[in-house]
Amino acid sequence: MQYQKLDNVAGWATMTRMSAAEKIAPEISETLTWRQICEQYPDQWVCVVEVARASPNAFEILAARVIGHGKTRPAPFEQARAWHATYELIGHYYTGKLKPPVPRYPRIVMTDELRDLVRSRW
């Protein structure tokens, strides 16, 4: 039986050349219903694959597999990057309730008094 000496410089250099993607294996969940996804990843952005829908054009997701998740919008894309070669379509969804954006302009409520002031006087 022959043993390789690993304490030499060349052996050590080849052992430590793993990239971050090789060190952390990409994870994929088992098939979950949308309710289970929302319970497991509350108020998070998720990237999903193998999406099952009631009909081809329906928006509602019946079941899917999660390949990435995170609190910020871009976070699941980093995790899903390893799966781009495997899956052609990757969905990106939010499991919580989205808040509408705050309007950047003041709102004007038209009351009877304002309407009378604005109305042209001919």
Each residue's pLDDT expressed in tens, for the chain with a length of 122 residues = 454 444 444 444 444 454 544 444 578 999 999 999 999 999 999 999 999 998 888 889 999 999 999 999 999 999 999 898 899 999 999 999 988 887 777 777 888 887 787 776 65
Q: Which pTM value belongs to this model?
A: 0.61
- Amino acid letter, residue 16: T
Could you give the residue ranges of the DSSP H alpha helices within the chain?
Answer: 9-15, 20-23, 34-40, 75-80, 112-118
pLDDT digits (tens, 9 = 90+) for 36-71: 999 999 999 999 999 999 888 888 999 999 999 999
Give the count of alpha carbons within 13 A of 33, CB side only: 4
